[in-house]
Structure 1
Amino acid sequence: MTPSAARLTDSLRDIGYDFSSAIADLVDNSITAEATEVNVVIEFDGEASRVFISDNGRGMTLNGLTEAMRFGSRRRYGSGDLGRYGLGLKTASLSQGRCLTVVTRTSAGRRVIQTRQLDLDLIAEFDDWLIIEPARNEIVERARNLLEDGPGTVVIWENLDRVVPMKNSAGGWARRRFETLQQKAAEHLAMVFHKFLSGEVGQGPLVITVNGQKLIPWDPFARAEKATQELVEQVFEIEHGDASGVVTLRRYVLPGRDQFSSQAEFDRMSGPLKWNRQQGLYIYRAGRLVQWGGWAAVRSIDEHTKLARASLEFDTDLDEAFNINVAKMRVTVPSELRQMIERPINEICSLADDLYRKSSNSKGDRDRPVSDNFSAGLDVGLALKAAAMDAGEIGAFKKIAAELRKSDPKIAKVLGL
């Protein structure tokens, strides 16, 4: 039996997106379409507020566009494709507004521009799976102009009932909420796609703008800071059913406040969730960040380990093993992998705990400048401990440290032992 279009489309609106993650899902499509530039425009206009997400990717043919508007579109996803279920365009867009319009062209020049629309009010009226070609109104014309003379796609969200309040939709509170959403969306995209923005993955550096502001990649691991410590990466092989693949673990201890290049950079690296909640695992699927914060039940969040962050990276061939959800915001770390990473995670947290306590102890002595030699000694001590952990000789290291504290306490203090 064919399901009720009106009831099912309304239910699919609550699949788990927020405003920022919904935009990120559409950026996934742009990356799959080999776009090098994505522009997000978030416009406040009371009930007529709207969002444009445009790219310079390869665009879609009429058949491709019509299929893309289908719930559960019939397309094959290759290895590395950021799409998964054939639902993202529809569910992400309609989670925020009741009307989705897509304008697209496949090549440069005067090639015809295709336009299709999903309107939940129309679907509710006829209780049928309707996709229409909308009239050439001002909004559609703006989208066509955004394509200029090249290929690409523009997605338009209208009737933003989940974003704009029903009462006093043109008031100051509604405007401030829109401005806040714009800032949160920019921060979210700069974090989720930081490897694409920096050119670490993809065909080259991706450019994303939000209301004309070019995003700067937010690297959770502060690798540009000289005092950031990176431990030896570890690679694990995972099997799930007929699929198998590798998962890479990279571990970092970020500098304490006094070791950062500036107070402003320390504050920036605290992240959208701030230091305590930003600690933990950052899980990447095909270079795209899908989950962050917390230690995936390996251990709990602790103030003393807030400088510890680690990445888990896997490709799309392990999607089923990680049980990725439709919104691409949550994964489940396989139990066999959780056991493998428990020791490396505890090691990095131990190093972060040591650094935190040393930084805390130094706060009471701020009037006395810390010498370069003393700071270097702490770095050497932490590096030695990390090397001992990687070599599986932490027990021997502790014995050596204890002996050094007896024989030469001054050196032990300089090394932070």
Structure 2
Amino acid sequence: MAQPEPSALVESLRAFGYSLRTAVADLVDNSISARAKNVWIRFEWDGAQSFISIRDDGSGMTENELVTAMRPGSKSPLEDREPRDLGRFGLGLKTASFSQCRRMSVISKTETSTSAARCWDLDYINTAGEWRLLKKVNQDRLTEVGEQIAQQGTIVLWEEMDRVTGSTRADDKKAYNRFLEAIEEVKEHLEMVFHRYLEKRGGINIFINGRKIEGWNPFLKGEKATQELPSEKLFCKGAQLSVTPYVLPHLSKLTQDTHRAASGPQGWNAQQGFYIYRNERLLVPGDWLGLGFQKEEHHKLARIQIDLPNNMDDEWQIDVKKSRARPPGYLRGDLKRIAKLTREQAVQVYRHRGKVIARRSSQDHVFLWQQKTRHGKYFYEINREHPLIQSSLREIGADKIEPILRLLEETIPASHIIITSSEEPDRMGSPLEGAKYVEVRALLQKIYSSFQKSGFSRDEIFDRLVTMEPFSQTPEFIEAFREEPEGGI
């Protein structure tokens, strides 16, 4: 019998490609499958001794059930699953945990059984050279922070988190800030992935360090201007799946807060496409599924919901992390047709409302570049009426500024932009992408001063700033600037 070498196999199980947020989401799946009403996630910072715990009030496990659950590959992906079950491979608890830590403990209790505990310690496996599930669990750490099971439920404890904190010291401020950023990323991911469970009555409550999170619905169903196009039922593996396209409202129809929230964790452009749900759990948060479409600015309002039952995993090539899915070949034609119609409608909304805004906002201050036609060919000029250009012409002099503007106009790398956009669209950055407010503030201040010198009031200036490129895509910067004391501005 050729048995796998324990230390080699366990290190391989760490390489499934989980991030912290997808790993935590995989454990929340288990809580939902266990019919939990509440999940409490705790991040405790202590440098290299930091830990994360995930506790729920689900049905819990007896000792025999816990030992089975701790076994890698505890269920075959070919087995029929309960309709509510979010698992598939019987690997999630182990691979998700191993991807982040070297010591994973589970304590569980049913309504009628006593508490049971088991632990996988990867360093012990490497040293002993055998698969030995330990009974010793560091419950003192959980007691210190009040993480205990009441009537029933399960606690998963991650320690020795080499992939999260490494060997950093507790007083390392940069590492601590990275830890806080990771918590925020987990929060945003869970709000997106489980939004349907968080939104519905009788669903589930998720708490991170005591604070309840809210669901992020990508389809803005509560907005009057959101267009829900007709749903279609497609057949797959003898069952039906539902496809519902949405076209989201134009910026002009949303408040700044709603527009900012609707951009999602990855931003408006990245969040377009198909949203694939399996048992109401989001697997794919915006992707064109290899159907030949690119993520482009004028299609960013198109989002399409697909609902799958959990017996289509193989057909849709769902991976262990539940973060990737690909449609079977016989559905690609229908999905491509639906995507094309939705994208066309999204373009109409994007362009129509954009034209209205341009007319109402006076184009002289909105756009820095203007498209012109000469001898039947397009070319681009810098808008001399733009407030920042006007200010520079006055302060520095037209004789010095005009040659620079003309040089910029004649050297636009249009061919290179077109080729790059066509061949590598996902690598094309969007305006102010990744920029921080402190980096943009000086530019805002300069434009604000230019408007001010032209006699505009404070309210009039902010009305113009919010529609001006590139700030129309980052309303949070305008809001932060508006909140500063007027003397500071």
Q: TM-score, normalised by structure 2?
A: 0.71
Structure 2 SS opposite 1:60: coil
Which residue number in structure 2 is paired with residue 335 of structure 1?
329
What is the CA deviation profile of residues 175-199 of structure 1, one whole-angstrom value per residue up to 9, with x for unaligned ones? Answer: 0110001001000001000111111
Which residue number in structure 2 is paired with residue 6 of structure 1?
7
What is the CA deviation profile of residues 237-257 of structure 1, one whole-angstrom value per residue up to 9, with x for unaligned ones? Answer: 013xxxx22111000010011
1:79-228 maps to which residues of 2 (within 5 A)? 79-107=83-111, 111-135=113-137, 137-142=139-144, 146-168=147-169, 170-199=171-200, 204-228=202-226
In the TM superposition, residue 62 of structure 1 has moved relative to its aligned partner by: 0.2
**Match for 1:358 among 352, 355, 376?**
352
Distance 1:234 1:284 in 2: 15
**Aligned AA for 1:89?**
L
**Aligned AA for 1:118?**
W
Which residue number in structure 1 is paired with residue 274 of structure 2?
281
**CA contact 1:100–1:156 (8 Å) conserved in 2:** yes
**CA contact 2:276–2:284 (8 Å) conserved in 1:** yes
**CA contact 2:35–2:59 (8 Å) conserved in 1:** yes
Identity across matched positions, percent: 37
In the TM superposition, residue 169 of structure 1 has moved relative to its aligned partner by: 6.0
What is the CA deviation profile of residues 57-84 of structure 1, one whole-angstrom value per residue up to 9, with x for unaligned ones? Answer: 0100000001111001147532341010
**Aligned AA for 1:117?**
C
Q: Does 1:308 align with 2:302?
A: yes
**CA contact 1:230–1:253 (8 Å) conserved in 2:** yes
Mark the runs of 5 or more structure 2 residues left unpaired by the alignment: 363-489
**CA contact 1:147–1:153 (8 Å) conserved in 2:** no
Distance 1:113 1:165 in 2: 31
Distance 2:153 2:139 in 1: 20
Mark the runs of 5 or more structure 1 residues left unpaired by the alignment: 369-417
Distance 1:225 1:183 in 2: 26
Which residue number in structure 1 is paired with residue 410 of structure 2?
none
Which residue number in structure 1 is paired with residue 27 of structure 2?
26
What is the CA deviation profile of residues 159-184 of structure 1, one whole-angstrom value per residue up to 9, with x for unaligned ones? Answer: 01001143556411110110001001
| Structure-2 change in CA distance of 1:74 and 1:322 (3 Å) | closer
**CA contact 2:252–2:357 (8 Å) conserved in 1:** no
For the pair shown, which has the larger CA radius of gyration, 1 or 2? 2
Distance 1:62 1:96 in 2: 25
Count of residue pairs brought into register by the alignment: 357
Structure 2 SS opposite 1:321: coil
Structure 1 SS opposite 2:30: helix
Which residue number in structure 2 is paired with residue 317 of structure 1?
311
**CA contact 1:118–1:132 (8 Å) conserved in 2:** yes
More deviation in 339-348 or 23-32? 339-348
**CA contact 2:47–2:167 (8 Å) conserved in 1:** no
What is the CA deviation profile of residues 349-383 of structure 1, one whole-angstrom value per residue up to 9, with x for unaligned ones? Answer: 11110111112212323348xxxxxxxxxxxxxxx
**Aligned AA for 1:113?**
S
Distance 1:292 1:59 in 2: 30
Distance 1:273 1:335 in 2: 28
**CA contact 1:276–1:303 (8 Å) conserved in 2:** yes
1:392-403 maps to which residues of 2 (within 5 A)? none
**CA contact 1:116–1:133 (8 Å) conserved in 2:** yes
In the TM superposition, residue 258 of structure 1 has moved relative to its aligned partner by: 1.0
Distance 2:144 2:119 in 1: 15
**CA contact 2:75–2:89 (8 Å) conserved in 1:** no
Distance 1:74 1:301 in 2: 37
**CA contact 2:70–2:93 (8 Å) conserved in 1:** yes
Distance 2:262 2:73 in 1: 38
Distance 1:152 1:268 in 2: 33
Q: TM-score, normalised by structure 1?
A: 0.82
RCO greater where, 1 or 2, for CA within 8 Å and sep 6 or more?
1
Which residue number in structure 1 is paired with residue 384 of structure 2?
none
**Aligned AA for 2:197?**
F
Structure 1 SS opposite 2:119: strand
Structure 1 SS opposite 2:177: helix
Structure 2 SS opposite 1:146: coil
More deviation in 12-21 or 161-170? 161-170
**Aligned AA for 1:20?**
R
Distance 2:310 2:144 in 1: 36
Please tell me the root mean square deviation across aligned C-alpha atoms, in Å.
1.7
Distance 1:194 1:79 in 2: 19
1:371-382 maps to which residues of 2 (within 5 A)? none
Structure 1 SS opposite 2:270: helix
Structure 1 SS opposite 2:313: helix
Structure 2 SS opposite 1:319: coil
**Match for 1:251 among 225, 245, 252?**
245
**CA contact 2:277–2:306 (8 Å) conserved in 1:** yes
**CA contact 1:192–1:290 (8 Å) conserved in 2:** yes
What is the CA deviation profile of residues 108-163 of structure 1, one whole-angstrom value per residue up to 9, with x for unaligned ones? Answer: 7xx521111000000001111110111555125358x5334310000000101001
**CA contact 1:294–1:300 (8 Å) conserved in 2:** no
